[in-house]
Amino acid sequence: MAYEKIKPPEEGEKIRYEDGKLIVPDNPIIPYIEGDGIGKDVVPAALMVLDAAAEKIGKEIVWFRIYAGEDAYKLYGNYLPEDTLNAIREFRVALKGPLTTPVGGGFRSLNVTIRQVLDLYANVRPVYYLKGAPSPLKEPEKVNLVIFRENTEDVYAGIEWPRGSNEALKLIKFLKDEFGVSIREDSGIGIKPISEFATKRLVRLAIQYAIQNGRKSVTLVHKGNIMKYTEGAFRDWGYELAREEFGEYTITEDELWEKYNGEQPEGKIVIKDRIADNMFQQILTRTAEYDVLAMPNLNGDYMSDAAAAMVGGLGIAPGSNIGDGMGVFEPVHGSAPKYAGQNKVNPTAEILTGALMFEYLGWREGSEMIKKAVEMTIQSGTVTYDIHRHVGGNLVGTKEFAKAVVENLQSL
């Protein structure tokens, strides 16, 4: 593939996707985006740890720098150049730092654009506790969730028009004339699409994950009591998919009690659903009952941030965007420009995002090593400011924390 301003490395091999499976060489070429703000701090720190982990398991990552955000604008005059999208398409797996998204006006979210253009339809965010991290919970070790958030539809589809625009006024008039629906003329208008196709492929991925990782349940989280034909349909389509494609592996919560008296049979995954607002209190009050969660986009955005707060905050929350044979791995936190370049912020989220990438590559041993080394570092009291202000210890900067993780990793 020809590129305008970047050149792939001559060393390394491409990751391939054949017959529905990734074929990963021992020396894959992996593009990375430093991103904006603190991306300049946390991404280099993460690369240091990932290189050490790869070497530990006999692998080598050949990094390929690509550009998005402010760096891309300086180089291309474009915040998201085709070079970047084409590199991800060609090499299939990429690591990225946070990108700045303006509130209100300005350009649309680059993160959302990358997900939609590349059809990375599942935002997958594992949430688990690292010993030594501050938590508001009495028993944070009970938190072990994986959130599957639909990435392409719902309000994040970006179908909206401002108050007073021709489009908004035309739609308001159409709804009144054709359906008798009255909407105030000074309203902004947004449309919330949720399709059977997108719902089922997300739930399919969530159930496949549960099967492959020995998880006990998949919970469909929705607001179907109010939005019956969008979020209510998400729930119904999720159950339908489980019944039709995974009948030998799954039972419903009703079946669990009617047929098995509440005792989950070996090898079966329970499919259940919860109303979104109720789910917020359930993950706090009945944490251990939840495992894999699947939900539409907006619910997933709120839920994953709330869950991250339960185990120490966004500074340690990894994330990924997964499509068919393609993945872009990014932390949950934003770009925090006021801290950029200060060697201050916590790189744990970016490091654990790399661990999640290792898992996706099939390098599970390396992934577990990274997570263990991070936990050892935090437990030892070597921490960045965000954790130090809660628990004290040995206060270090971004680079120093990453170096400590590498030392602990090498001792494993």
Q: Are residues 400 and 274 in the same domain?
A: no
The candidate with the shortest Cα–Cα distance to 289, out of 275, 316, 270, is: 270
Task: To the nearest 10°, report the CA torsion of 356, 360, 362, 365.
Answer: 10
Q: Are residues 331 and 364 in the same domain?
A: yes
Tally of domains within the chain: 3
Residue numbers annotated as active site = 156, 223, 277, 301
Q: Are residues 270 and 140 in the same domain?
A: yes
Domain that holds residue 182: 155-191
Poorest-pLDDT segment among 15-19, 35-39, 296-300, 310-314: 310-314
Would you state the pLDDT for residue 107? 53
Residue 335 has pLDDT above 90, yes or no: no
Question: What is the per-residue pLDDT across 216-249, written as a single tens digit (0 to 9) for each?
Answer: 999 999 999 999 999 999 999 999 999 999 999 9
Query: Tokens at residue 309, please?
Result: 């707060």
Q: Are residues 187 and 206 in the same domain?
A: no
Would you state the pLDDT for residue 101? 65
Point out the domain boundary residue: 310, 332, 347: 310
Would you state the pLDDT for residue 1? 81
Q: Between 403 and 340, whose confidence is greater?
A: 403
Q: Are residues 25 and 90 in the same domain?
A: yes
Residues of each annotated binding site for NADP(+): 100, 333-339, 346, 385, 389
Question: What is the per-residue pLDDT across 253-267, written as a single tens digit (0 to 9) for each?
Answer: 999 999 999 999 999
Would you state the pLDDT for residue 102? 54
Q: Between 2 and 210, whose confidence is greater?
A: 210
Point out the domain boundary residue: 276, 310, 344: 310
Residues of each annotated binding site: 100, 109, 111, 115, 125, 149, 301, 333-339, 346, 385, 389
Question: What is the per-residue pLDDT across 344-370, written as a single tens digit (0 to 9) for each?
Answer: 999 999 999 999 999 999 999 999 999
Would you state the pLDDT for residue 104? 47
Query: Tokens at residue 383, please?
Result: 């921490």
What is the rounded CA–CA span in Å between residue 142 and residue 288? 5
Point out the domain boundary residue: 310, 333, 359: 310
Would you state the pLDDT for residue 109? 80
The bridge status of strand 382-383 relative to strand 394-395 is parallel
Look over the chain and give the mean of its residue pLDDT values, rounded to a whole number.
94
Q: Which stretches of 180-338 are DSSP H helices? A: 196-212, 231-245, 253-260, 276-285, 297-310
Residue 56 has pLDDT above 70, yes or no: yes
The candidate with the shortest Cα–Cα distance to 356, out of 12, 50, 31, 111, is: 50
The terminus-to-terminus CA distance of the chain in angstroms comes to 40
8 A C-beta contact, residue 38 and residue 3 = no
Q: Are residues 140 and 226 in the same domain?
A: yes
Residue 179 has pLDDT above 60, yes or no: yes
